Amino acid sequence: MTVILVALTLTILSQGVISSNLPIVINTWAFIDAANEAWKVLHQPHKTALDALVEGCSTCERLQCDGTVGYGGSPDEHGETTLDAMIMDGANMNIGAVAALRHIKHAARVARHVLENTQHTLLVGDQATQFAQTMGFKKESLSTPASKEIWQKWWHDGCQPNFWINVNPDPKSSCGPYKPSPNYNPLSEIDKEKFEFGSKNHDTIGMIVIDSSGHIYAGTSTNGANHKIPGRVGDSPIPGAGAYADNEFGAAAATGDGDIMMRFLPSFVAVENLRAGQDTTTAAQNAIKRILKHHEKFMGGLIVVNRLGEIGAACTGIDKFPYSVAFGNQTKAKIEYIDC
């Protein structure tokens, strides 16, 4: 498996002193509306990098970016859409996250309340919904005619593809219900190629915002993998998997096959690589390489930004990996692409 890596060095030399291109907003995929909204908020009086991050992710939730973020996309096996989101503060390493959030459209905003109004890191499921209602959010259905149509087609296609292995009846030809198979094979794997992980099933928006003073926030929002087993949580709300931030060194955000990524914590690894002195390109490369050692067919992408605003990105398993970025004196975001 070949990994193609691109680094974008954004430092400017002035009178012998390295000046960073801060502030900066960057997010995975060509979700340029999210980047532009975060960029606009970041430049408003009395607004913070946290405000910008939340508004950027919330924009993608509202616009249902590629059907993989926000309500009305990626129905699970019961036809329900649930949401995951996370926010990390690089100054104090605090985190607020929600997972398997039901009936609440504003996952990133709820994650902010976990960050600011609790001593916890992660709230999940129905209890996360109850917390959101306590914080003033309205309970409503996350299903739409489009998501219902996706689920109905999947059901009529014999529940194919699905995420079951080592069960009876054969999940490749039956909808279940399933029971554990007596012939358990620890080497069994789901045929991920059937899921067509890519531009329409990539699981998340990951965003990094650094303000002019160097305060870093990183966050994610997603509606998870299409046709997931109910209750599944992927990498997005897991610290170090979907995103990670540390004001001393930088931040990273990942996207792709979340069930694999959360086993390797690529965002944490990438930031630790920065701590070890690696440049952003090498940091991204080595985080991806660690996954490929065990999963040659892994699909994913990783953006890495150090505290000076230097960007590195890595991708594998897809044709191209776009990301959206605005920095320095730019007036709006642009889309960059990596060939994988």
pLDDT range class, residue 185, cuts 50, 70, 90:
confident
Query: What's the confidence (pLDDT) of residue 17?
Result: 33
Enclosing H/E stretch for 205 = strand 205-210
Residues 173 and 51 in one domain: no
Query: What's the confidence (pLDDT) of residue 187?
Result: 65
Residues 34 and 121 in one domain: yes
Residues 6 or more apart whose CB falls under 8 angstroms from that of 311 comprise 7, 8, 9, 10, 26, 280, 303, 304, 305, 325
Q: What's the average model confidence in pLDDT over 217-234?
A: 96
pLDDT range class, residue 51, cuts 50, 70, 90:
very high
Residues 297 and 165 in one domain: no
**Could you tell me the CATH number of the domain that includes residue 112?**
3.60.20.30
Residues 174 and 314 in one domain: no
pLDDT at residue 282 tops 90: yes
Average pLDDT, the chain: 91
268: containing domain: 4-143+202-339
- Token representation of residue 319: 């044709």
Query: What's the confidence (pLDDT) of residue 14?
Result: 30
Residues 303 and 335 in one domain: yes
Query: What's the confidence (pLDDT) of residue 184?
Result: 76
- Among residues of the chain, what percentage have pLDDT more than 70? 89
The β-bridge relationship of strands 24-28 and 83-89 is unpaired
> Strand, coil or helix: what is 109?
helix
Residues 102 and 237 in one domain: yes
Distance CA 86, CA 101 (A): 12
pLDDT range class, residue 188, cuts 50, 70, 90:
low
pLDDT range class, residue 192, cuts 50, 70, 90:
low
Query: What's the confidence (pLDDT) of residue 339?
Result: 85
pLDDT at residue 194 tops 60: no
Residues 128 and 161 in one domain: no
Which residue in the list 204, 220, 255, 281 is annotated as catalytic? Answer: 204
Question: Does residue 11 have an active-site annotation?
Answer: no
Compute φ and ψ for 192, nearest 5 degrees. Answer: -65, -20
Which of 195, 214, 236 terminates a domain? The answer is 195
Query: What's the confidence (pLDDT) of residue 340?
Result: 84
Residues 136 and 150 in one domain: no
How many domains is the chain partitioned into structurally? 2
Which of 169, 195, 221 terminates a domain? The answer is 195
* Burial of residue 135 (number of CB atoms within 10 Å: 0-12, 13-18, 19+): middle
- Token representation of residue 43: 């430049």
Which of 195, 211, 232 terminates a domain? The answer is 195
Distance CA 89, CA 71 (A): 25
Integer-rounded Cα Rg, in Å, for the chain is 20
Residues 128 and 152 in one domain: no
Distance CA 13, CA 192 (A): 46
Minimum mean pLDDT among 17-21, 114-118, 181-185, 256-260: which range? Answer: 17-21
pLDDT at residue 11 tops 80: no
Residues 150 and 137 in one domain: no
Residues 89 and 127 in one domain: yes
Q: What's the average model confidence in pLDDT over 24-50?
A: 97
The β-bridge relationship of strands 122-124 and 95-101 is parallel
The number of CA neighbours under 13 Å toward the Cβ of 263 is 11
Residues 289 and 239 in one domain: yes
69-81 pLDDT, tens digit each: 999 999 999 999 9
- Among residues of the chain, what percentage have pLDDT more than 90? 84
